[in-house]
């Protein structure tokens, strides 16, 4: 005989909702059970050997110690980092594909009319990694010897001075745009798949200027293979104590640093995200990582930022900061 167990109408929906939540939680727990059971792919949006790649490889190697599986770096270049971000937004949400990206996550929506993903909606946030200052460089035989001279030189040669960058959405592009705005000049922009090939072109004297991160530029500055016009942060940096800031060089209000975050596709189960965040935090405590990043002029962010909420709120803040300015500047692609 069937036993009828009456449930008050007002309880029916909440009970059903509770059952759904329980199912989802069980699924999530299962998804995290034993995770990871195979290598995790960390997608880098720019070329191998460049600044994002350098941070990714150092972080990935240390995360793999904690996860017990390798973290394999995959370089997917193109369209200022948006090709890689779109790829990860569409990947299986199982924790086995993650993205490391920088400020480009905040700037791309203002730069690409047909962006196929929303950085604020289509990802789970693992945490922030490190902040990196940038350096404005010229090829070795470029005539100007400081930032003020560079501004006059570009004014006299409007549209003729070549700036290499890594495409719309790259920090090298953002830095170049800030330079153009602060100096009231126009540069002839030459995009590359990352600043690794752009730096090679600068060293070979094929382009005139490049704004790139200390993680890539310090050895070339130390070897005196490039001209250093200044650092992009408002204060001088520990890695280059004698280098003036661009503000000191007369570029009023110039203030830019690069920040990195790690993302997973939307829908990655919360327990998997938690494991990835735990591995990221463990990696950033690893003395080999802090030594390597310190040598490269990068600064590991405080633990509160190495969290999903730390990354999500920072991304929102940076989106609100840069997108109106970029929309006004009108540097837009399809
Ligand atoms: C790179 O890794 O090549 C750079 O981060 C590109 C850029 O300038 O954003």
User: Could you give the C-alpha distances from 251 to 94, 100, 144, 256, in angstroms and in order?
Assistant: 46, 31, 15, 12
| CA 170 to ligand 1 centroid distance, Å | 6
Local confidence pLDDT in tens for the 334 residues of the chain: 333 333 333 444 444 444 444 444 444 444 567 899 999 999 999 999 999 999 999 999 999 999 999 999 999 999 999 999 999 999 999 999 999 999 999 999 999 999 999 999 999 999 999 999 999 999 999 999 999 999 999 999 988 999 999 999 999 999 999 999 999 999 999 999 999 999 999 999 999 999 999 999 999 999 999 999 999 999 999 999 999 999 999 999 999 999 999 999 999 999 999 999 999 999 999 999 999 999 999 999 999 999 999 999 999 999 999 999 999 887 777 6
Distance between the two ends of the chain, CA-based, in angstroms?
A: 66
Which residue is closest in CA terms to ligand 1's atom 5?
Answer: 52
Beta strands 257-265; 226-231: pairing state: unpaired
Determine if ligand 1 sits within 6 Å of the CB of residue 77. no
Q: How far apart are CA 270 and CA 276, in angstroms?
A: 10
**What's the token pair of residue 302?**
């405080």
* DSSP H or E stretch at residue 209: strand 209-213
Phi, psi angle pair for 18, to nearest 5°: -65, -40
Q: How far apart are CA 175 and CA 277, in angstroms?
A: 30
**What's the token pair of residue 195?**
């600043």
- Ligand 1 pocket mutation pick from 212, 260, 296, 298 by most atoms within 8 angstroms of CB: 212
DSSP state, residue 245: B
Q: Which residue carries 């029916």 as its tokens?
A: 12
Identify the three-state secondary structure at position 239.
coil
CA atoms within 13 A on the CB side of 85: 29
Determine if ligand 1 sits within 6 Å of the CB of residue 171. yes
Question: Which domains, ranges and CATH numbers included, belong to the chain?
Answer: 40-132+258-329 (3.40.190.150), 133-249 (3.40.190.10)
- Model pLDDT, residue 20: 40
Determine if ligand 1 sits within 6 Å of the CB of residue 195. yes
Closest C-alpha to 117, from 152, 95, 156, 87: 87
Determine if ligand 1 sits within 6 Å of the CB of residue 75. no
pTM, full prediction: 0.88
The secondary structure of 186-216 as a DSSP string is --EEEE-SSHHHHHHHHHTTSSSEEEEEHHH
* DSSP H or E stretch at residue 186: none
Determine if ligand 1 sits within 6 Å of the CB of residue 214. no
Determine if ligand 1 sits within 6 Å of the CB of residue 228. no
Contact present, 183 and 155 (Cβ < 8 Å)? yes
Beta strands 71-75; 97-101: pairing state: unpaired
Contact present, 50 and 260 (Cβ < 8 Å)? no
CA dihedral of residues 319, 324, 330, 334 (deg, nearest 10) = 40
Q: How far apart are CA 81 and CA 77, in angstroms?
A: 6
User: Could you give the C-alpha distances from 228 to 62, 142, 159, 192, 276, in angstroms and in order?
Assistant: 32, 11, 21, 21, 38
């Amino acid at each position: 005989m069937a036993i009828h167990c009456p449930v008050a109408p007002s309880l029916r929906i909440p009970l059903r909702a509770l059952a759904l939540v329980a199912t989802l939680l069980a699924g999530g727990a299962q998804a995290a059970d034993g995770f990871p059971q195979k290598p995790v792919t960390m997608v880098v949006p720019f070329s191998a050997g460049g600044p994002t790649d350098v941070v990714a490889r150092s972080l990935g190697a240390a995360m793999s110690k904690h996860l017990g599986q390798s973290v394999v770096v995959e370089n997917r270049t193109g369209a200022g980092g948006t090709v890689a971000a779109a790829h990860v937004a569409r990947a299986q949400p199982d924790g086995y594909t993650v993205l490391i990206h920088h400020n480009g996550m905040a700037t791309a929506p203002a730069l690409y009319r047909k962006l196929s993903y929303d950085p604020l909606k289509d990802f789970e946030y693992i945490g922030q990694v490190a902040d990196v200052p940038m350096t404005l460089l010229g090829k070795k035989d470029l005539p100007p010897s400081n930032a003020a001279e560079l501004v006059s030189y570009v004014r006299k040669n409007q549209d003729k001075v070549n700036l290499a960058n890594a495409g719309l959405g790259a920090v090298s592009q953002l830095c170049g745009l800030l330079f153009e705005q602060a100096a009231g000049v126009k540069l002839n922009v030459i995009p590359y798949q990352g600043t690794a090939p752009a730096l090679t072109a600068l060293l070979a004297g094929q382009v005139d200027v490049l704004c790139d991160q200390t993680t890539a530029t310090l050895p070339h500055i130390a070897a005196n293979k490039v001209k250093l016009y200044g650092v992009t942060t408002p204060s001088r940096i520990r890695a280059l104590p004698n280098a003036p800031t661009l503000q000191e060089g007369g570029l009023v209000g110039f203030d830019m640093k690069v920040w990195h975050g790690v993302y997973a596709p939307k829908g990655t189960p919360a327990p998997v995200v938690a494991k990835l965040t735990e591995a990221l935090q463990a990696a950033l405590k690893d003395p080999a990582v802090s030594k390597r990043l310190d040598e490269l002029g990068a600064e590991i962010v405080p633990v509160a930022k190495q969290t999903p909420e730390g990354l999500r709120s920072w991304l929102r803040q940076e989106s609100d900061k840069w997108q109106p300015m970029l929309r006004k500047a009108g540097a837009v692609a399809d």
